[in-house]
Amino acid sequence: MIYLDNAATTYPKPEQVYDSIMDCMKNYCANPGRAGHKMAMRAAREIYDARENIAKLFNIDNPMNIIFTNNATDSLNLAIKGVVKEGDHIITTSMEHNSVIRPIKSLEARGILNTIVNCDKEGFLDVNDIKNAIKPNTKLIVTTHASNVVGTLVDIKAVGEIAKENNILYLVDASQTAGVYSIDVKDMNVDMIAAPGHKCLLGPQGTGILYIREGLSVDILKEGGTGSKSEDLFQPEIVPDRYESGTHNTPGIAGLNEGVKFILEKGIDDIRLHEEELCQYMLDKLEEIPNIKIYGTKDSKKRAAVIAINIGDMDSGEITFILDSEYDIATRSGIHCAPLAHKTLGTLEQGAVRFSLGYFNTKEEIDKAVEALKEISKNN
Amino acid sequence: MIYLDNAATTYPKPEQVYDSIMDCMKNYCANPGRAGHKMAMRAAREIYDARENIAKLFNIDNPMNIIFTNNATDSLNLAIKGVVKEGDHIITTSMEHNSVIRPIKSLEARGILNTIVNCDKEGFLDVNDIKNAIKPNTKLIVTTHASNVVGTLVDIKAVGEIAKENNILYLVDASQTAGVYSIDVKDMNVDMIAAPGHKCLLGPQGTGILYIREGLSVDILKEGGTGSKSEDLFQPEIVPDRYESGTHNTPGIAGLNEGVKFILEKGIDDIRLHEEELCQYMLDKLEEIPNIKIYGTKDSKKRAAVIAINIGDMDSGEITFILDSEYDIATRSGIHCAPLAHKTLGTLEQGAVRFSLGYFNTKEEIDKAVEALKEISKNN
């Protein structure tokens, strides 16, 4: 199988990710923070170590500002719903995933309205459109860092600047970038970052993170046991406990920690350069095939390694089916949980075939995918 | 290490649980329900298979009524908050964990009041007290199935009967029982069951389940991508998708599935009998030690295999520390995230040392724990 569905979840993971999950499960998988015995303390130390490594990746001073969640959707719901109240206004973009759009749309019923800024047909955001959408009651700006459909990058530093100037909170959905693109929360004026653990951070499914800036208090969606202030019938204010009720996914976080350590060791720039190179290589090859429509910019410096295409009027699902069944190549077709992005790109009807590349992909695999597309294009 | 902290999380797991997690991670860990390629489809099938096996365990007709969450706290928050609105009343008991008490207390600020029925000093609930607490606006009854502090069992069938007669919803927190005690949702009139995957169901951390009765619609706490109706900006109504936004913990659910299959193969009665026997064995041995105070009933048929004790006036944390450091025995001390239960038992000041037994514990391990307690009792 040639796996080109890394925007959904990265596969494979570095070997040490698998090893650390099994080491945790077999040797010290007690309940962290819930008891004082050796196994529970080792589990708690591993979780703290993961917080430290993740904090390094984003230039975050205090590791306790990293909250563990179970996926990016969990992080985004907490972040979005936790900072707005009735009468507030939210700005977001037309390139967002449903994990951003659906929570924001659900808030309309609670009197929290929104403006969805349109991006251009390649998915680019004009940051002036964000500025122009600001109202006196704007409380929050939410943007993706890169489109999950077409990879188009958002200049999050420029948006962060606008947010700061206008005293508005800024939440970045880094689902497609955390672990590949540098995000410096201080330099970029980012108040919150949501990211899955199982995509570019190379951890397992069942993990997600939310960074919440020091001093920013976010209303919570759930309460429960935290292992702290157990005598209290109300949720404790201690961070991160306040946000992390119930038992952690300790083996998952141990695996995520190894994924992040892998990134820190390889260097995020080297990882990005590899993905950029592969992406440019594939874009250039695809341009040689007649009848293929490539969405978004042809410059891999301006997009994450996510490539969306169509072949003539062919159903995108059919292309993905042929790639899978005849060529053993894994891609995704249809509407990628981001209907407004498809509307922006003009692919709401046809959907698109998405090739999302990862650190472990090779030029040989890209060659095979391009050859397959050539044949499919010729035969249809 | 003699692990007697199974009420926090069970350890070890059956070998096939570890194996299935690795098999999933290394061989088919794509994103289930998000693409049509072979790996994604295999992942989706595994998740459906897990729903089927869990449904069998609770005599649930439709596997789609099983919702996957990331822990029992997640399940309980969804269940409790999803069925009440301003002006409603909730009944619960003094033996509940903070994962029940804290969400219920948080709802007071939204005009949803509660009655906490007191249990007796062994933790037993008189179901008539539930009946007497019913008001015209009572919408929900929540009880644990067994206390996490002292194991005391609740007659959930009797409570279910009262709930049904009065047209009130009944949510069972089965955190200490699912996988060891039979729960038949139809026979027992249970509308919702919350349970962790990583305790008696023998799955890994990072998994939880919520059963929601067919036809009961629960308001959700989060929206996001579901892989279904992707073109819709609002959350789809399809079950279970409506409740399961974002990427699943596929390897975790694969592990949980093996845990549940292990239980179905061994037979839940055999598992319970083993735990009851060990529990009675330990209770009888403990009674021979002077200066040890055992909380709860001495009849293991009336309690889950969770034993809470104190030695004279000794600090419970000190006992756990000595057990860990000198005898390599893992227990938990203090307030076990259930302050009202400790108040009920009279241990809010001193806390208690908790020995929680699991399917893999042996009489030899119990002997060693009892010997250790004899020595500690003699020396202090």
* The pLDDT value given to residue B28: 97
Preceding amide of A240 cis, omega within 30: yes
Interchain contact A351–B (C-beta under 8 A): no
- Domains in chain A (CATH in brackets) are 2-10+268-379 (3.90.1150.10), 15-266 (3.40.640.10)
pLDDT exceeds 80 at position A316: yes
pLDDT at A33 (0 to 100): 80
Give the pLDDT confidence score for residue A203 in this predicted structure: 98
Give the pLDDT band (50/70/90) at residue B263: very high
Those of residues 276-295 in A touching chain B at CB distance below 8 A are none
- Report the pLDDT value the prediction gives residue A364, as an integer from 0 to 100: 98
Closest Cα in chain B to A339:
B231
Chain A interface, best mutation among B9, B105, B207, B344, by max A CB count within 10 A: B9
Distance CA B100, CA A290 (A): 61
In the predicted model, is pLDDT for residue B380 greater than 90? no
User: Which chain B residues touch A39 with a CB distance below 8 Å?
Assistant: 1, 3, 5, 11, 330
Average pLDDT over residues B272-286: 98
Ordered DSSP codes for B57-71 = HTT-S-GGGEEEESS
pLDDT in tens, A100-119: 999 999 999 999 999 999 99
Q: What pLDDT was estimated at residue A36?
A: 82
Note whether B330 contacts A37, CB cutoff 8 Å: yes
Is residue B176 within 8 A of residue B304, CB to CB? The reply is yes
For residue B98, give how far its alpha carbon lies from the nearest alpha carbon of chain A (Å): 5
Q: What is the mean pLDDT of chain B?
A: 97
Helices marked H in chain A: 15-27, 38-57, 72-83, 98-106, 127-133, 156-165, 250-266, 268-287, 316-327, 339-345, 363-379
The pLDDT score that the predictor gives to residue B34 is: 74
User: CA nearest B28 in A: which residue?
Assistant: A11
Asked if B25 and A204 come within 8 Å (Cβ–Cβ), the reply is yes
Within 8 A of A338 by CB-CB distance, chain B residues are: 230
Q: Are strands B66-69 and B208-212 parallel, antiparallel or unpaired?
A: antiparallel
Q: What is the count of residue pairs from A and B with beta carbons less than 8 Å apart?
A: 307
List chain A residues with CB under 8 Å of B30: 3, 5, 8-9, 11, 330
pLDDT digits (tens, 9 = 90+) for B131-175: 999 999 999 999 999 999 999 999 999 999 999 999 999 999 999
Q: Which of B250, B221, B186 is nearest to B39 (CA)?
A: B250
In the prediction, which pLDDT does A23 show? 98
Nearest Cα residue in chain B from A14: B26
Residue from A355, A186, A181 nearest A281 by CA? A355
Say yes or no for a CB contact (<8 Å) between B230 and A334.
Answer: yes
Residue A14 pLDDT level (bands cut at 50, 70, 90): very high
Band of pLDDT at residue A35, cut at 50, 70 and 90: confident
| pLDDT in the model for residue B137 | 98
Listed by number, the residues of chain B in 27-66 with a beta carbon closer than 8 Å to a beta carbon of chain A are 29-31, 34-40
Q: Is A114 on the interface with B (CB under 8 A)?
A: no
Q: CA of A73: which chain B residue's CA is closest?
A: B246
B261-B197-B178-B221 Cα dihedral, nearest 10 degrees: -130
∠A246-A249-A254 over CA atoms, to 5°?
A: 140
Q: Cβ separation of A22 and B18 shorter than 8 Å?
A: yes
Count CB atoms within 10 A of the CB of residue B133: 18
Q: How far apart are CA B205 and CA A23, in angstroms?
A: 14
pLDDT-derived band at B87 (thresholds 50, 70, 90) equals very high
Minimum distance, in Å, between the CA of residue A225 and any CA atom of chain B: 5
Q: What is the pLDDT of residue A380?
A: 81
pLDDT for residue A34: 74
Whether the complex's predicted ipTM surpasses the cut of 0.90: yes
Q: Which residues of A touch B231 (CB under 8 A)?
A: 335, 339, 342, 348
